[in-house]
Amino acid sequence: MSTTSYSNGYSGLAIADYFVKKALSQNESITNMQVLNMMYFAQTFGFTELNRRLIKDEFYAWQWGPVEPKTYAEFRKYGGQSIKEISHKTNKELDDIESQKDIKEFLDKIYILRTADPFVLNKKTNGLGSPWAETNPYGAIDISLIRNDFIK
């Protein structure tokens, strides 16, 4: 059954926990960088695939690409190594995500990016004319830039 409490989007950490939980359940490695890339693509494609803002938290134009800071902070303890467990801070949201067939199927498609070369993904997220490139360093990336980026 659908709830409306997440109609303005889920926390970035809840989406991250979904990806981490999926990786752990399949005995696959997943890093903070991979999670952050998948989250950004989920946010951008969510506008066209789900017709909604999937993540309510803002992304920022950090040095190496778009970052949702709360998620980065939660998993930074792993450095470049595989994340060992979900945050355990988003259980209610995670349950809601897993109960939404359309969102779950959408995130499962985005999960495939886990195996993509991060440098190839960075060309799209950090390239000339991207929302990241159009934002002041370390500033919040305007959500309208993200929404319109993949509609072009």
33-79, pLDDT tens digit by residue? 999 999 999 999 999 999 999 999 999 999 989 999 999 999 999 99
Full-prediction pTM beyond 0.85? yes
Model confidence at 95, pLDDT cuts 50, 70, 90, reads: very high
What is the rounded average pLDDT of the residues 109-117?
94
DSSP letter at 55 equals B
Question: In the chain, what are the domain boundaries?
Answer: 12-149
Instruction: In whole angstroms, give the CA distance from residue 78 to residue 98.
Output: 25
Phi and psi (nearest 5°) for 97? -55, -50
Closest CA to 135 of 146, 150, 123, 148: 146
Over its C-alpha atoms, the chain yields an Rg (Å, rounded) of: 14
Model confidence at 3, pLDDT cuts 50, 70, 90, reads: very low
Q: How far is CA 29 from CA 83, 86, 136, 143, in A?
A: 7, 13, 33, 30
Please state, for a pLDDT cut of 90, what percent of the chain lies above it: 84
